[in-house]
Amino acid sequence: MHTVVKGDYFQQLAEQYNVGFLALLAANPKHDPFLLKIGSQLVIPNEMLLPFITRKGIVINLPELRLYYFLPKENKVHVFPVGIGRQGLSTPLTSTTIGEKRKDPIWRPTKEMQDRHFAQYGKYLAKEVPAGPNNPFGKYALRLGTSEYLIHGSNKRFGIGMRASSGCIRMYDDDIKWLFDNVPLETKVRVINQPVKMSYENGEKQLIEIHQPLSELEVSKGNVILTQAMQRFVGTKREYWQQLLPVIEKPHGLVVELIK
């Protein structure tokens, strides 16, 4: 929890606690993100369940706008908020590796970016932008395989933890620097779509975490299985479904314990 003091606003708090802007918004639906009441309590969404996937390398779960890096020789995971592709320019689901690491990358807009910019503003972007404060890639970039998609920094504070990019994965400056320094080439990367995560804790507690599904991504076979798994996980207890119904209708991304 965070007690609001004078001058607090959502973007600043998202950076302070290293959580995504939309995650903070979803966790606090009754608060005005720009006019926070001094003394009020905000939920900081730091508790999470791990995605249902092999715990190896980098895992980016698009609906929750988070990147997980599982350390290769330790039972530890680092978690970061990320920005992903906006509607119409979705970040693709993929299984790949880190194919290249680049410090001070040069930004070269693709033909599609140039065409979109011209259609919207009547002029083309610069053919390339060198390293520096105007570079949309920030100071570091990691390439997914040999594709045009990157995990990179940003020259804008706004957009981390949101669907705001042209398909690449954006991170805060300190986060991408840590990833650049600590993640080796050929590290496995999986981009997944799991809006629902579930866990049995100590064989007793039943925990579930539901995020807003991405509207454009086709429902993959994995997600159909996940939906069936959710029905099996919750079971036939009326109390559980009554508890979950408001969350299913308006996901807040917080961990919920199913209580009889």
Bridge partners of 196? Answer: 210
Active-site position among 2, 31, 117, 152: 152
Q: How far is residue 147's CA from residue 169's CA, in Å, rounded to a whole number? A: 13
211 is catalytic: no
User: Catalytic: which of 31, 78, 168, 211?
Assistant: 168
Per residue, what are the HEC states of the chain?
A: CEECCCCCCHHHHHHHHCCCHHHHHHHCCCCCCCCCCCCCEECCCCCCCCCCCCCCEEEEEHHHCEEEEECCCCCCEEEEECEEECCCCCCCCEEEEEEEEEECCCECCCHHHHHHHHHHHCCCCCCCECCCCCCCCCCEEEEECCCCCEEECCCCCCCCCCEEECCCEECCHHHHHHHHHHCCCCCEEEEECCCEEEEEECCCEEEEEECCCCCCCCCCHHHHHHHHHHHHHHCCCHHHHHHHHHHHHCCCCCEEECCC
Is 78 annotated as catalytic? Answer: no
Helix 238-249 crosses helix 221-234 at what angle (to 10 degrees)? 140
Positions annotated as catalytic residues are 152, 168
